[in-house]
Amino acid sequence: MRLEDYPTEPQYTATVLSSQPITEQGSEVEVRELVMKVTDHEFNFEIGQSVGVLAPGPSDFGGSIHHRLYTVADIPKEKGEGDPEITLVVRRCNYIDDYSGEEYVGVNSNYLCDRRAGDTVTITGPFGMPFTVPEDKNSNLLLIGMGTGIAPVRALVKHIYNHVGDWKGQIRLMMGAQSGLELLYMNNERDDFTNYYDEDTFEAFKALSPRPSWADPIAWDYAIEDRAEEIWRLLTEDDTYVYVAGQKKVRESLDRLFGNISGSTEGWAKRKAELIEQERWVELLY
């Protein structure tokens, strides 16, 4: 489904309650966590859904409204706990035009990163629900999140341990970033995943660029090869679900690496096709 296919109605007004940086000082990127209150009780969302943000465009482009989707990074409030609240994780983005070489700011990301407590934002949705909790609590989950793709993963893990409870399957979280400064919810600024380190079923590990200042690719190969036996066991078991979130380029890297640990590209392609057909391989890529 293309972005332009998502409706921009109905619209809701969300008031910013807080905007906090969740990347460490010294990081070359800025990622903020925004918590917003929606002043309409008809608005509600489920784990893993996205909301649309309508941001005014630059005046030199006619001030047109830009519509972009962001996955909600937290779980819904319980009924009766007041107005609905949503949490978004937003990276401030700029890009270089391939033809002119000029730098442009990402309209929606900069708009959101500039919002402060008390400001209002117009949102739409919610849309979709890419990541669902398997009914069988013995199911294994292999969660792979890169950059702001950690947002839906964080909400899923929090929901499983806070609301579902008594999870017996293994939950393995692979997080990717250019450097440790850019790891979200697993750094000195915010380390939410420490809440689950005491859970026997949970384990998280990192994949970082070996030379972050050179913008080298994230070292998924080191992280995966160190745990190749465990990962391949999970991928071949009939009760494992794989959820992948982040930039589209991670798909090619994972296919190459999983092909290596499976012994052949063809063997991995066949196994992945089976996981997709059984709805046990789900991607949320942008």
pLDDT band at 44 (very low <50, low <70, confident <90, very high): confident
Question: Averaged over 236-259, what is the pLDDT?
Answer: 86
Question: Averaged over 244-267, what is the pLDDT?
Answer: 84
Q: pLDDT tens for residues 136-180?
A: 999 999 998 877 777 778 888 888 888 888 899 999 988 765 444
Q: Provide the percentage of residues in the chain whose pLDDT is more than 70.
A: 75
Question: Averaged over 191-216, what is the pLDDT?
Answer: 63
Determine the Cα angle at 30 with ends 26 and 35, to 5°: 130
pLDDT the model gives residue 246: 75
Q: Is the peptide bond before 10 cis (omega within 30 degrees of 0)?
A: yes
Q: Which residue has the higher pLDDT, 96 or 49?
A: 49
pLDDT the model gives residue 158: 83
Highest-pLDDT range among 69-73, 82-86, 95-99, 132-136: 132-136
Q: Which of 15-29, 115-129, 232-246, 268-282 has the lowest mean pLDDT?
A: 15-29
pLDDT band at 285 (very low <50, low <70, confident <90, very high): confident
What one-letter code names the amino acid at 62?
G
Q: Which residues pair with 16 in a beta bridge?
A: 36
pLDDT the model gives residue 221: 59
Kindly tell me if the per-residue pLDDT of 116 is higher than 90.
Answer: yes
Kindly tell me if the per-residue pLDDT of 83 is higher than 50.
Answer: yes
What one-letter code names the amino acid at 41?
H
Question: What is the spatial distance between Cα 197 and Cα 157, in angstroms, rounded to a whole number?
Answer: 12
Could you count the other beta carbons within 10 Å of the beta carbon of residue 245? 27
Question: Averaged over 101-127, what is the pLDDT?
Answer: 86
pLDDT the model gives residue 212: 46
Q: Which of 32-46, 61-75, 270-284 has the lowest mean pLDDT?
A: 61-75
Contact 20, 51 (CB under 8 A): no
Q: Which residue has the higher pLDDT, 165 or 124?
A: 124
Q: Which of 32-46, 134-148, 199-213, 234-248 has the lowest mean pLDDT?
A: 199-213
> Dihedral angle at the C-alpha atoms of 261, 266, 270, 271, nearest 10 degrees?
0
Q: What is the mean pLDDT of the chain?
A: 79
Q: pLDDT tens for residues 85-107?
A: 999 988 888 765 555 556 667 88
Q: Which residue has the higher pLDDT, 27 or 192?
A: 27
Q: If you search the block for the tokens 């090869």, which residue do you land on?
A: 225
pLDDT the model gives residue 215: 45
pLDDT the model gives residue 16: 96
Q: Which residue has the higher pLDDT, 274 or 248?
A: 274
Q: Which residue has the higher pLDDT, 15 or 252?
A: 15
